[in-house]
Amino acid sequence: MRRHRNLLLTAAAAIAATGIVAGGVAIADLDEKTMLSNPPGEPPFAGPGPPNDPQKKAEREFFDRYHAWLDSPAAQGLDLRSLRRGTLLADFLPGQPSLEAAVAAADLIVLGEAVEYKFGSWGSSVTLKVESMLKGEAGNTITVSLPGGPQPKNLAFTEVTLVEGDAAPILLPGDRAMLFLRRSSSGDGLGVQPYSGHYRIDSTNKVRPLPQNAFGLAVSGMEVEAFSAVIRQRLR
């Protein structure tokens, strides 16, 4: 079984029989064991139905075209930081109920700065320059798979949104974060613990958890050094 699968997600009836996009679509690189509550199978258009169904044919054609566009120079040359952000239409596993549980569930805990964000038909990932490892071991850099990526909003692919999972938002070069990571089911990749594993570090060196984090209010605004000390206490 593959560690990650590219999943075409639709917002309502994504592609009509005429080939017109009626809703948003997004490619997600999702770890089926640690991220999704409904592990993806085949893309939604691949279910039962007449093989010559016009809508399914249009969906397949758009899916193939989208994959090709993701790998194209036009997409790879996008200024991602200038793009409007959108939310990926996907269900994720719930976050951990407490900091103690989140620390225990993490295979690695890393503080780092994003130095490269990559995407393509295979999915997307961020590479972090490691500032400190609070749990586990890693080299000078670590690469983490992320859900989401660029999403065209029209058939000409001239208007693009950067969609991201609300459980693990995209990090672009220059962003700093504390990440609680889980190894993939195959053991050769890393994903962010949903909701309770992403802590952005703002320009004042303070911790900013996700809004859906069950214990986020207790740690929001802490200096990163103080937050690191609390995590180390939980590891004793």
Q: What is the pLDDT of residues 18-62, one digit of tens each?
A: 222 323 333 333 333 334 333 333 344 445 556 678 888 888 888
Quote the percentage of the chain above a pLDDT of 90.
61
Mean pLDDT of the chain: 81
Contact (Cβ atoms closer than 8 angstroms) between residue 142 and residue 166: no
pLDDT of residue 55: 83
Q: How confident is the model at residue 144 (pLDDT cuts 50, 70, 90)?
A: very high
Q: For the purposes of burial, counting CB atoms within 10 Å of the CB of 147, is it exposed (0-12), middle (13-18) or buried (19 or more)?
A: buried
Output 87 or 14, whichever has higher pLDDT: 87
pLDDT of residue 21: 30
Q: Describe the chain by its helix, strand, coil percentages, rounded to 5.
A: 20, 35, 45
What's the rounded Cα separation, in Å, for the pair 131 and 111?
6
With 80 as the cut, is the pLDDT of residue 172 above it? yes
Output 95 or 153, whichever has higher pLDDT: 95
Phi and psi of 37, rounded to 5°? -90, -20
Structure tokens at 202: 């703002």
pLDDT of residue 53: 80
Give the domain extent around 159.
4-234
3-state secondary structure of 55: helix
With 90 as the cut, is the pLDDT of residue 180 above it? yes
What's the rounded Cα separation, in Å, for the pair 170 and 23?
22
pLDDT of residue 31: 39
The residue-averaged pLDDT of 187-216 equals 95
Place of tokens 């997409």: 75
Going from the C-alpha of 158 to that of each of 38, 108, 153, the distances in angstroms are: 32, 39, 8
With 50 as the cut, is the pLDDT of residue 107 above it? yes
pLDDT of residue 129: 98
Contact (Cβ atoms closer than 8 angstroms) between residue 187 and residue 195: no
Q: Which residues of 156-186 are buried (b: 16+ CB within 10 A; e: fewer)?
A: ebeebbbbbbbbbbbbeeebbbbbbbbbbee
- Sheet with 84-87, edge to edge strand ranges: 84-87, 160-164, 148-152
Domains: count for the chain? 1
pLDDT of residue 27: 33
Q: How confident is the model at residue 211 (pLDDT cuts 50, 70, 90)?
A: very high
pLDDT of residue 56: 83
Q: How confident is the model at residue 122 (pLDDT cuts 50, 70, 90)?
A: confident
Structure tokens at 155: 């058939």
